[in-house]
Amino acid sequence: MSCDSLFNNKAIPEEYRKTAESLFPAEGFTEKKSLSLKAATDFAIALGIGADFKKLVSLKKITDAEIHNFLESFQNNLDLLIQKTWVEKADEGRKEILLNNVPGFVDVIEKGNFQKALEEFGAILDELSYLFFGAQSTKEDFTEYTFRIDDQMGLFWWYGTQLGCIKEVFAVKTADTDGAANDEALWAVLLIGICFLTNF
Protein backbone atom coordinates (compact mmCIF):
# COMPACT_ATOMS: atom_id res chain seq x y z
CA MET A 1 0.00 0.00 0.00
CA SER A 2 1.46 3.37 -0.94
CA CYS A 3 1.85 6.10 1.63
CA ASP A 4 -0.85 8.31 0.17
CA SER A 5 -3.43 5.68 -0.78
CA LEU A 6 -5.23 5.87 2.54
CA PHE A 7 -5.82 9.58 2.09
CA ASN A 8 -7.32 8.93 -1.31
CA ASN A 9 -9.90 6.47 0.02
CA LYS A 10 -11.37 9.06 2.41
CA ALA A 11 -11.44 6.56 5.28
CA ILE A 12 -10.21 9.13 7.78
CA PRO A 13 -13.00 11.31 9.19
CA GLU A 14 -12.59 14.99 8.32
CA GLU A 15 -11.97 16.04 11.93
CA TYR A 16 -8.82 13.86 12.03
CA ARG A 17 -7.54 14.45 8.51
CA LYS A 18 -5.49 17.59 9.24
CA THR A 19 -3.84 15.99 12.27
CA ALA A 20 -3.12 12.81 10.31
CA GLU A 21 -1.69 14.67 7.32
CA SER A 22 0.53 16.74 9.61
CA LEU A 23 2.16 13.56 10.90
CA PHE A 24 2.21 11.72 7.56
CA PRO A 25 1.84 14.24 4.70
CA ALA A 26 -0.33 12.98 1.83
CA GLU A 27 2.26 14.23 -0.66
CA GLY A 28 5.02 12.41 1.21
CA PHE A 29 8.05 13.70 3.07
CA THR A 30 10.32 16.34 1.55
CA GLU A 31 13.19 18.48 2.80
CA LYS A 32 10.66 21.09 3.97
CA LYS A 33 8.08 18.59 5.23
CA SER A 34 9.58 16.08 7.60
CA LEU A 35 8.55 14.43 10.84
CA SER A 36 7.90 16.97 13.56
CA LEU A 37 7.46 16.74 17.31
CA LYS A 38 4.43 19.06 17.16
CA ALA A 39 2.69 16.82 14.62
CA ALA A 40 3.45 13.75 16.75
CA THR A 41 2.13 15.50 19.87
CA ASP A 42 -1.08 16.60 18.11
CA PHE A 43 -1.58 13.04 16.86
CA ALA A 44 -1.02 11.62 20.36
CA ILE A 45 -3.61 14.04 21.74
CA ALA A 46 -6.11 12.93 19.07
CA LEU A 47 -5.52 9.33 20.18
CA GLY A 48 -6.21 10.27 23.82
CA ILE A 49 -2.65 9.58 25.02
CA GLY A 50 -1.34 13.14 25.00
CA ALA A 51 -0.36 13.35 28.68
CA ASP A 52 1.74 10.15 28.70
CA PHE A 53 3.28 11.03 25.35
CA LYS A 54 4.30 14.55 26.37
CA LYS A 55 5.81 13.37 29.64
CA LEU A 56 7.90 10.62 28.03
CA VAL A 57 8.98 12.46 24.90
CA SER A 58 10.36 15.26 27.07
CA LEU A 59 12.83 12.85 28.70
CA LYS A 60 16.09 13.30 26.85
CA LYS A 61 17.72 9.91 27.47
CA ILE A 62 16.29 6.58 26.43
CA THR A 63 18.15 5.12 29.41
CA ASP A 64 16.00 7.15 31.83
CA ALA A 65 14.48 4.89 34.51
CA GLU A 66 11.01 6.27 33.79
CA ILE A 67 11.28 5.17 30.15
CA HIS A 68 12.55 1.75 31.22
CA ASN A 69 9.57 1.34 33.57
CA PHE A 70 7.18 2.49 30.88
CA LEU A 71 8.63 0.01 28.37
CA GLU A 72 8.16 -2.75 30.95
CA SER A 73 4.51 -1.72 31.32
CA PHE A 74 4.16 -1.68 27.52
CA GLN A 75 5.63 -5.18 27.23
CA ASN A 76 3.46 -6.56 30.04
CA ASN A 77 0.30 -5.05 28.58
CA LEU A 78 1.12 -6.19 25.04
CA ASP A 79 1.84 -9.72 26.30
CA LEU A 80 -1.52 -9.72 28.07
CA LEU A 81 -3.32 -8.47 24.95
CA ILE A 82 -1.72 -11.16 22.81
CA GLN A 83 -2.37 -13.96 25.31
CA LYS A 84 -6.01 -13.01 25.82
CA THR A 85 -6.75 -12.75 22.10
CA TRP A 86 -8.92 -15.62 20.98
CA VAL A 87 -7.75 -17.18 17.73
CA GLU A 88 -8.39 -20.34 15.75
CA LYS A 89 -6.19 -23.28 16.73
CA ALA A 90 -4.27 -22.89 13.47
CA ASP A 91 -3.21 -19.35 14.52
CA GLU A 92 -1.90 -20.26 17.99
CA GLY A 93 1.62 -20.46 16.56
CA ARG A 94 1.34 -16.87 15.35
CA LYS A 95 0.55 -15.76 18.88
CA GLU A 96 3.62 -17.54 20.22
CA ILE A 97 5.89 -16.03 17.58
CA LEU A 98 4.55 -12.56 18.34
CA LEU A 99 4.99 -13.04 22.09
CA ASN A 100 8.60 -14.09 21.46
CA ASN A 101 9.28 -11.01 19.27
CA VAL A 102 8.19 -8.37 21.81
CA PRO A 103 11.19 -8.59 24.20
CA GLY A 104 13.62 -8.20 21.29
CA PHE A 105 11.69 -5.16 20.08
CA VAL A 106 11.93 -3.53 23.52
CA ASP A 107 15.65 -4.32 23.62
CA VAL A 108 16.17 -2.61 20.24
CA ILE A 109 14.43 0.52 21.59
CA GLU A 110 16.54 0.55 24.75
CA LYS A 111 19.67 0.38 22.59
CA GLY A 112 18.44 3.49 20.74
CA ASN A 113 18.17 1.86 17.30
CA PHE A 114 14.92 3.58 16.37
CA GLN A 115 15.15 2.80 12.65
CA LYS A 116 15.23 -0.95 13.36
CA ALA A 117 12.62 -0.57 16.11
CA LEU A 118 10.31 1.16 13.65
CA GLU A 119 10.57 -1.75 11.22
CA GLU A 120 9.96 -4.29 13.98
CA PHE A 121 7.02 -2.31 15.37
CA GLY A 122 5.36 -2.23 11.96
CA ALA A 123 5.66 -6.04 11.79
CA ILE A 124 4.30 -6.38 15.35
CA LEU A 125 1.30 -4.21 14.50
CA ASP A 126 0.62 -6.21 11.32
CA GLU A 127 0.53 -9.43 13.35
CA LEU A 128 -1.48 -7.84 16.15
CA SER A 129 -4.09 -6.55 13.72
CA TYR A 130 -4.40 -10.05 12.28
CA LEU A 131 -4.86 -11.55 15.74
CA PHE A 132 -7.51 -8.93 16.60
CA PHE A 133 -9.38 -8.76 13.30
CA GLY A 134 -8.43 -11.88 11.33
CA ALA A 135 -8.51 -11.74 7.54
CA GLN A 136 -10.29 -8.35 7.70
CA SER A 137 -6.91 -6.80 8.59
CA THR A 138 -5.54 -7.66 5.15
CA LYS A 139 -8.39 -6.09 3.18
CA GLU A 140 -8.28 -2.72 1.37
CA ASP A 141 -11.03 -1.28 3.57
CA PHE A 142 -9.39 -2.24 6.90
CA THR A 143 -8.85 1.37 7.96
CA GLU A 144 -12.44 2.27 7.14
CA TYR A 145 -13.60 -0.82 9.05
CA THR A 146 -11.68 0.18 12.20
CA PHE A 147 -12.99 3.75 12.04
CA ARG A 148 -16.53 2.34 12.02
CA ILE A 149 -15.73 0.54 15.30
CA ASP A 150 -14.19 3.56 17.02
CA ASP A 151 -12.51 6.77 15.77
CA GLN A 152 -9.42 6.48 17.96
CA MET A 153 -9.00 2.82 17.13
CA GLY A 154 -9.28 3.63 13.44
CA LEU A 155 -6.72 6.40 13.76
CA PHE A 156 -4.34 4.06 15.58
CA TRP A 157 -4.54 1.29 12.98
CA TRP A 158 -4.19 3.86 10.22
CA TYR A 159 -1.01 5.07 11.96
CA GLY A 160 0.25 1.47 11.96
CA THR A 161 -0.17 1.19 8.20
CA GLN A 162 1.80 4.39 7.66
CA LEU A 163 4.95 3.32 9.53
CA GLY A 164 6.38 1.89 6.33
CA CYS A 165 6.40 5.40 4.82
CA ILE A 166 8.78 6.60 7.50
CA LYS A 167 11.03 3.61 6.95
CA GLU A 168 11.31 4.55 3.27
CA VAL A 169 12.14 8.17 4.12
CA PHE A 170 14.88 7.41 6.61
CA ALA A 171 16.38 4.64 4.49
CA VAL A 172 17.41 7.24 1.89
CA LYS A 173 18.65 9.98 4.24
CA THR A 174 22.09 11.27 3.35
CA ALA A 175 25.11 11.06 5.62
CA ASP A 176 25.00 14.79 6.36
CA THR A 177 21.50 14.54 7.87
CA ASP A 178 21.27 15.37 11.55
CA GLY A 179 21.18 11.91 13.13
CA ALA A 180 20.06 13.21 16.53
CA ALA A 181 17.08 15.01 14.99
CA ASN A 182 16.15 11.86 13.06
CA ASP A 183 16.34 9.77 16.23
CA GLU A 184 14.17 12.26 18.12
CA ALA A 185 11.55 12.18 15.36
CA LEU A 186 11.58 8.39 15.07
CA TRP A 187 11.34 8.00 18.85
CA ALA A 188 8.35 10.37 18.92
CA VAL A 189 6.55 8.35 16.24
CA LEU A 190 7.32 5.04 17.97
CA LEU A 191 6.20 6.47 21.29
CA ILE A 192 2.74 7.19 19.85
CA GLY A 193 2.10 3.50 19.27
CA ILE A 194 3.78 2.37 22.46
CA CYS A 195 1.69 4.76 24.59
CA PHE A 196 -1.51 3.73 22.84
CA LEU A 197 -0.94 0.00 23.35
CA THR A 198 0.19 0.50 26.94
CA ASN A 199 -3.14 2.19 27.66
CA PHE A 200 -5.27 -0.07 25.42
The greatest distance separating any two alpha carbons of the chain, rounded to the nearest whole angstrom, comes to: 50
For residue 80, the enclosing domain spans: 62-200
- Give the residue-averaged pLDDT of 139-150: 91
The band of 173, judged by pLDDT with boundaries at 50, 70 and 90, is very low
Q: Is residue 53 part of a domain?
A: no
Q: Is residue 34 part of a domain?
A: no
Amino acid, res. 191: L
> In the prediction, which pLDDT does 75 show?
96
Report the distance separating Cα 123 and Cα 121, nearest Å. 5
Q: Is residue 114 part of a domain?
A: yes
The band of 99, judged by pLDDT with boundaries at 50, 70 and 90, is very high
Q: Is residue 2 part of a domain?
A: no
Q: Is residue 139 part of a domain?
A: yes
Q: Is residue 119 part of a domain?
A: yes
Q: Examine the pLDDT at 175 and tell me if it is beyond 50.
A: no
Q: Is residue 46 part of a domain?
A: no
In contact, 35 and 41? CB cutoff 8 Å: no
Cα 114 to its chain centre, rounded Å, is: 12
Mean of the per-residue pLDDT values of the chain? 84
Q: Any idea what the Cα angle at residue 47 is, between residues 98 and 20, rounded to 5°?
A: 95
- Give the residue-averaged pLDDT of 16-40: 77
> Buried b vs exposed e over 141-150: b needs ≥16 C-beta within 10 Å?
ebbbbbbeee
> How many domains, in total, are found in the chain?
1
Q: Is residue 40 part of a domain?
A: no
* Residue 112 vs residue 164, higher pLDDT: 112
- The pTM assigned to this predicted structure is 0.87
Q: Examine the pLDDT at 63 and tell me if it is beyond 60.
A: yes
Q: Examine the pLDDT at 8 and tell me if it is beyond 90.
A: no
